[in-house]
Amino acid sequence: MDNPDIEAKPAALADDIVWGVESIAKEINAPINRTRWLIRAKRIPVFKLPGGRQILASRKALRKAFKSLAAA
């Protein structure tokens, strides 16, 4: 049985993930050095896959983080 909701979720999840510091910097419209500082200072939510070296972020989590920073 084909369920369009189940088939659509992997694409939606893949669209939400931003791979690498450079891509995260573009996503938040910030210089790469500023983005690295935000990551080190734990000001933006990022993660690594187990055993991986590349930093990833969720677009949804980035939007939520910036919304809370703007409200503060």
CA angle 43, 44, 50 (to 5 degrees): 120
pLDDT, tens digit only, all 72 positions of the chain = 455 555 556 567 788 999 999 999 999 999 999 999 999 999 999 999 999 899 999 999 999 998 887 776
Question: Residue 1's pLDDT is what?
Answer: 46
Angstrom CA distances, 19 to 25, 43, 48, stand at 10, 17, 10
Residues 56, 18: contact at Cβ < 8 Å?
A: yes
**3-state DSSP percent of the chain in helix, strand and coil, to 5:** 60, 10, 30
pTM for the whole structure: 0.77
Q: Indicate the DSSP class of residue 52.
A: -
